[in-house]
């Protein structure tokens, strides 16, 4: 006569408890990871994580293909990165600890970044160019930074968040002297003014000419730290300059400015993953 094993009640309780605790554990971890992703979203940490992912994939491939020398070099690089990570991610770690101390880590909100389509991008370039010409004519100093792939979230946090549509009139009003937001940089994300009165890192390039003031050094500095494009209007001369990748193009006219912005901000077909990351 065949005997069938029936699980005891205690056994069923143990299995049920294990399953419930595992589900709760997974949900908590998923929630924390999601909040951490929101925390680094819109910052340069995104690009750093992509670089780490490339290194991990390259290390795995070199091991599979028996490329011993390459694998050894990559493993040494990964070991060094473990030590360097706290330094590299210092701004993000500081922000996370500050938000945790204020009890805001888990109700974190962020500006809704809108990645413009081709037509929207042309509109943004046109409005920035119009604003620059008005500011230049009236010799009103200004610093306008346009975010690209590298997020500028940590710099946005140093200013006053606005989240308003880009328009020439809006930008000009921000930089009117003696107004609350005129001192500092405006950061544009997509087709919106993300924040004004932002603090930017100054360039430490020792070869810059001494006549360049703080505004120009800040514009060059942010272009050295990221792939952002900075438009600078001199308060003394009204000259218009554009800083890209640590290089400064000076004394641009209207067509020259529009051409520079178009060439550096034009949409690239390989940006689909970044666009998905930037969407809510």
What pLDDT, on the 0 to 100 scale, is given for residue 108? 45
Give the list of residues 6+ apart from residue 267 with CB closer than 8 angstroms, or none: 118, 121
What pLDDT, on the 0 to 100 scale, is given for residue 243? 95
If DSSP codes are grouped into helix, strand and coil, which group holds residue 180?
Answer: coil
**198, 158 contact by CB (below 8 A):** yes
CA distance 142 to 268: 28
What pLDDT, on the 0 to 100 scale, is given for residue 278? 43
**124, 188 contact by CB (below 8 A):** yes
H or E element: which one contains 268? none
Alpha helices in 118-271 (DSSP H): 118-137, 153-156, 168-174, 214-225, 254-265
The torsion defined by the Cα of 200, 201, 202 and 207, in degrees rounded to 10, comes to -130
If DSSP codes are grouped into helix, strand and coil, which group holds residue 74?
Answer: helix
Strand duo 142-146 + 185-189: pairing: parallel
Q: Give per-10-residue mean pLDDT for the chain (280 aa).
A: 56 62 80 74 67 84 86 83 69 60 51 50 93 95 92 88 93 93 93 94 87 93 90 95 93 94 71 39
Give the list of residues 6+ apart from residue 104 with CB closer than 8 angstroms, or none: none
Question: pTM for this structure?
Answer: 0.64
What pLDDT, on the 0 to 100 scale, is given for residue 9? 62
Q: Which domains does the chain have, with CATH numbers?
A: 9-107 (no CATH), 118-278 (3.40.1700.10)
What pLDDT, on the 0 to 100 scale, is given for residue 271? 43
């Amino acid at each position: 006569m065949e005997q069938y094993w029936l699980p005891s009640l205690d056994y069923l309780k143990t299995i049920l408890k294990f399953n419930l605790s595992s589900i709760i554990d997974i949900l908590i971890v998923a929630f924390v990871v999601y909040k951490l992703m929101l925390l680094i979203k819109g910052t340069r940490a995104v690009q750093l994580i992509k670089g780490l992912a490339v290194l991990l994939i390259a290390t795995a491939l070199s091991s599979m293909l028996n490329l011993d020398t390459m694998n050894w070099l990559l493993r040494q690089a990964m070991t060094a990165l473990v030590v360097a990570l706290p330094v590299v991610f210092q701004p993000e770690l500081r922000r996370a600890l500050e938000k945790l101390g204020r009890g805001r880590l888990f109700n974190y909100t962020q500006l809704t970044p809108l990645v413009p389509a081709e037509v929207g991008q042309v509109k943004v370039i046109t409005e920035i160019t119009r604003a620059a010409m008005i500011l230049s004519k009236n010799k009103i100093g200004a610093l306008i930074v346009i975010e690209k792939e590298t997020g500028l979230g940590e710099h946005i946090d140093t200013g006053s968040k606005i989240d308003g549509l880009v328009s020439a009139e809006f930008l000009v009003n921000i930089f009117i002297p003696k107004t609350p937001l005129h001192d500092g940089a405006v950061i544009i994300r997509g087709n919106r003014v993300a924040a004004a009165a932002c603090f930017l890192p100054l360039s430490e390039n020792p070869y810059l000419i001494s006549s360049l003031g703080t505004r120009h050094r800040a514009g060059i500095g942010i272009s050295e730290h990221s792939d952002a494009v900075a438009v600078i209007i001199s308060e003394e001369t009204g000259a218009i300059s554009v800083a890209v990748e640590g290089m400064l193009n000076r004394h641009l006219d209207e067509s020259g400015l529009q051409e520079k912005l178009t060439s550096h901000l034009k949409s690239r077909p390989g940006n689909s993953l970044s666009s998905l990351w930037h969407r809510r």
